[in-house]
C-alpha cells in the first residue's frame, strides 16, 4: 500500500528527541534551534509585510529583491557570482533546497558520495531521489581519509554532498581539502551539492570557504544556505540555492511543484537580514564561542569525551566509559533520568561508530545551558 521509497528511511530522530524532551520536561539539547529570541529588528521586519498585505504568493523562485540581495551577499561573502534572475532560487529552508536539488540531478541508481558523520537528512534525501549513498568516514580527528574518498568515486557517481561547517562534528573543511574534493569532482564529472547553513558560525578565526568559489567548480556546484541559523529564525523556513543556469532551471521546476514558493512576508524580512552590519556576525560568533566552551566543559566534567567544534553549534561526544547502554538507550535514559535531551549518534553514521556517541547543541540561552550542566553533574555512572 505504501511506496518502497519510504521503507528506506525512518522519521527524524532529532525531532523525535524534541518530542520526547517535551514529554519529560527535559532540557532540549537535541534539536539545533535557539531558545532565545530572534533579533528585534527582524521580528518587526516580518510583522509589517503581513499588515501591509504582502500575503499572497511571491514569484515561485523567490521575491526579486531577496534574490538580488542573496546574489550580492553570495558575491561578497562566498565569492560566488550568481545572476539573481537565473541562478538564485529561494526555497522553504535549506532542507527543501537540498531535496529539490537532489531530485533535479539524480537518476535512479546514481551514486552520491557523503562524508560520515553526516546530517541526518542526507540519507532520506538520497532515498527519495533514488540515489545510492556511498559513505566516506572522516578520520577520528575529522580530517579526510584521502584513500577512502578516492575509492568512493566511480562511473556511477553523480554527486557529492558536502556540509561545511559540518553538523554534527563541527568540522570546517579547509581550502586544500576542498581542492582535493574539487579535483575528484572534475575528474569524474560529479556535481558538489554543498550545504553551508552554518557558514557564519566558525570559531578561532577560521574562514568559511565555499567550494563553488573555486574556478573549476563554477559550473558543477549547487550551493545551499539559508536564514535559520545565522539569524535565529529556524521556524521561518527560508533558504536558497545558488547554481548555474541549467541546474537552476531544473531545481526551480522541482521547487515549483513541491512548494509553489517560500512564505512571501518572511522573504521581505530576510532582505532586511542581509542588510545587517558586519558587527552582527562578529557578535554571533562571540556569543556561540562562549556557549561552545561552556557546554564543552560541562560535558567533560560529566565524563564525556569530546573535542571543541571548529564551527556550527553542536558537540559530538563519546558516551562516558562505564555506560553499558547503546546511544539510543542512553539518550532515552538521559531524557528520563537526567532531564537532558541529546541526539543518539547513530543518526549521523551508517557504521556502528555512532552507537557510542551523543550529539548536544549549545544553541541555547546561558541559563538553559547552566541548568543542563547542573543536571549533567547528577549523571552517576
Ligand atoms: N539542523 C538542526 C539539527 O540538526 C535542526 C534539524 C531539524 O529539525 N530540521 O538539529
Task: Answer yes or no: is pLDDT of 379 > 90.
Answer: no
Distance CA 315, CA 299 (A): 9
Which of 217, 229, 221, 104 lies closest to 167, judged by CA? Answer: 229
In the reported structure, the alpha carbon of residue 298 is separated from the centroid of ligand 1 by a whole-number distance in angstroms of 22
Q: Are residues 175 and 247 in the same domain?
A: yes
Write down which residue in 222, 252, 273 finishes a domain.
273
Q: Are residues 92 and 180 in the same domain?
A: yes
Q: What CATH number has the domain bearing residue 92?
A: 3.40.640.10
In a domain, 206, yes or no: yes
Q: Are residues 219 and 294 in the same domain?
A: no
For residue range 105-162, list pLDDT tens digits in order. 999 999 999 999 999 999 999 999 999 999 999 999 999 999 999 999 999 999 999 9
Q: Are residues 33 and 13 in the same domain?
A: yes
For residue range 243-290, list pLDDT tens digits in order. 999 999 999 999 999 999 999 999 999 999 999 999 999 999 999 999
Residues of the chain above pLDDT 70, percent:
99
Task: Answer yes or no: is pLDDT of 369 > 80.
Answer: yes
* 31 Cα nearest atom in ligand 1: 10
The number of domains in the chain is 2
For residue range 207-233, list pLDDT tens digits in order. 999 999 999 999 999 999 999 999 999
Write down which residue in 246, 273, 300 finishes a domain.
273
Q: Look up the domain containing 186 and give its range.
A: 40-273
The pTM of the full predicted model, rounded to 2 decimals, is 0.96
For residue range 11-47, list pLDDT tens digits in order. 888 989 999 999 999 999 999 999 999 999 999 999 9
* 119 Cα nearest atom in ligand 1: 4
Residue 299 Cβ < 6 Å to ligand 1: no
Q: Are residues 85 and 23 in the same domain?
A: no
Q: Are 71 and 271 in contact (CB under 8 A)?
A: no
In the reported structure, the alpha carbon of residue 31 is separated from the centroid of ligand 1 by a whole-number distance in angstroms of 5
Residue 133 Cβ < 6 Å to ligand 1: no
**Cα dihedral 293, 298, 301, 304 in deg (nearest 10):** -90
In a domain, 381, yes or no: no
Q: Are residues 269 and 288 in the same domain?
A: no
Q: Are residues 294 and 217 in the same domain?
A: no
E strands in 221-285? 221-226, 239-242
DSSP code at position 311? B
Task: Answer yes or no: is pLDDT of 380 > 80.
Answer: no
Write down which residue in 251, 273, 295 finishes a domain.
273
Amino acid at each position: 500500500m505504501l511506496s518502497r521509497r519510504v521503507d528506506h528511511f525512518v522519521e527524524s530522530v532529532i525531532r523525535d528527541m524534541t518530542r520526547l524532551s517535551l514529554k519529560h520536561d527535559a532540557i532540549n539539547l537535541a534539536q539545533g534551534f535557539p531558545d532565545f529570541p530572534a533579533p528585534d529588528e527582524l521580528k518587526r521586519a516580518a510583522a509589517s509585510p503581513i499588515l501591509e498585505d504582502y500575503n499572497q504568493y511571491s514569484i515561485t523562485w523567490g521575491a526579486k529583491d531577496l534574490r538580488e540581495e542573496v546574489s550580492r551577499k553570495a558575491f561578497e561573502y562566498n565569492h560566488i557570482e550568481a545572476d539573481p534572475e537565473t541562478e538564485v532560487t529561494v526555497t522553504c529552508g535549506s532542507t527543501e533546497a537540498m531535496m529539490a536539488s537532489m531530485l533535479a540531478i539524480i537518476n535512479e541508481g546514481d551514486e552520491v558520495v557523503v562524508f560520515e558523520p553526516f546530517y541526518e537528512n542526507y540519507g532520506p534525501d538520497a532515498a527519495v531521489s533514488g540515489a545510492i549513498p556511498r559513505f566516506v568516514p572522516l578520520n577520528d580527528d575529522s580530517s579526510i581519509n584521502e584513500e577512502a574518498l578516492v575509492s568512493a568515486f566511480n562511473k556511477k557517481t553523480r554527486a557529492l554532498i558536502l556540509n561545511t561547517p559540518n553538523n554534527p562534528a563541527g568540522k570546517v573543511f579547509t581550502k586544500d581539502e576542498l581542492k582535493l574534493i574539487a579535483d575528484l569532482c572534475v575528474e569524474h564529472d560529479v556535481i558538489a551539492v554543498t550545504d553551508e547553513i552554518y557558514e557564519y558560525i566558525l570559531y578561532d578565526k577560521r574562514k568559511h570557504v565555499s567550494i563553488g568559489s573555486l574556478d573549476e567548480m563554477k559550473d558543477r556546484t549547487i550551493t545551499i544556505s539559508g536564514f535559520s541559523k545565522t539569524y535565529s529564525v529556524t521556524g521561518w523556513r527560508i533558504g536558497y540555492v545558488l547554481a548555474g543556469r541549467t541546474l537552476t532551471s531544473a531545481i526551480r521546476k522541482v521547487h515549483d511543484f513541491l512548494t509553489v514558493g517560500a512564505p512571501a512576508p518572511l522573504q521581505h524580512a530576510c532582505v532586511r537580514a542581509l542588510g545587517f552590519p558586519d558587527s552582527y556576525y562578529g557578535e554571533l560568533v562571540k556569543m556561540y564561542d562562549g556557549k561552545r566552551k561552556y557546554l564543552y566543559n560541562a560535558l567533560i566534567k560529566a565524563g564525556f569525551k569530546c573535542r571543541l567544534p571548529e564551527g556550527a553549534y553542536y558537540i559530538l561526544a563519546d558516551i562516558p566509559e562505564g555506560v553499558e547502554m547503546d546511544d539510543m538507550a542512553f539518550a532515552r535514559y538521559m531524557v528520563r533520568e537526567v532531564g537532558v535531551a541529546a541526539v543518539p549518534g547513530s543518526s549521523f553514521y551508517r557504521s556502528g561508530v555512532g552507537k557510542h556517541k551523543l550529539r548536544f547543541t549549545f544553541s541555547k540561552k546561558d541559563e538553559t545551558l547552566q541548568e543542563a550542566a547542573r543536571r549533567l553533574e547528577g549523571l552517576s555512572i
